[in-house]
């Protein structure tokens, strides 16, 4: 995982959308959501459906047993 900010976010978003288009949905399910973790201060939901979330503002909760 790389946490970046600034101009790198757009580059990472383009790569994420490119990767999403390469998924063979005949063989596996489409992603339920797309998200980029950033080193910025603000979060938002973009017009293309990608969540932009700052790592410092996220609450990550793990439930269940890790295997």
Dist. CA 54–CA 35, nearest whole Å: 10
Residue 1 lies in a domain: no
* Element spanning 36, H or E: strand 34-38
pLDDT of 4 > 90? The answer is no
Residue 46 lies in a domain: yes
Quote the tokens at residue 29: 């399910």
Number of domains in the chain: 1
Residue 37 lies in a domain: yes
**pTM of the shown model:** 0.68
Residue 4 or 17, more confident: 17
Q: Give the domain range for residue 12.
A: 8-57
Residue 67 lies in a domain: no
pLDDT tens sequence across 6-60: 777 888 889 999 999 999 999 999 999 999 888 778 888 999 999 888 877 655 5
Q: How confident is the model at residue 64 (pLDDT cuts 50, 70, 90)?
A: low
Q: What is the pLDDT of residue 20?
A: 92
Q: Is the CA virtual torsion 67, 28, 35, 21 positive or negative?
A: positive
């Amino acid at each position: 995982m790389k946490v970046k900010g600034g101009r790198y976010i757009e580059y990472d978003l383009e790569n994420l959308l490119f990767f999403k288009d390469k998924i063979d949905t005949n063989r596996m399910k489409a992603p339920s959501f797309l998200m980029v973790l950033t080193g910025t201060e603000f979060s938002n939901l973009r017009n293309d459906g990608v969540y932009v979330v700052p790592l410092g503002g996220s609450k990550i909760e793990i439930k269940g047993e890790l295997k």
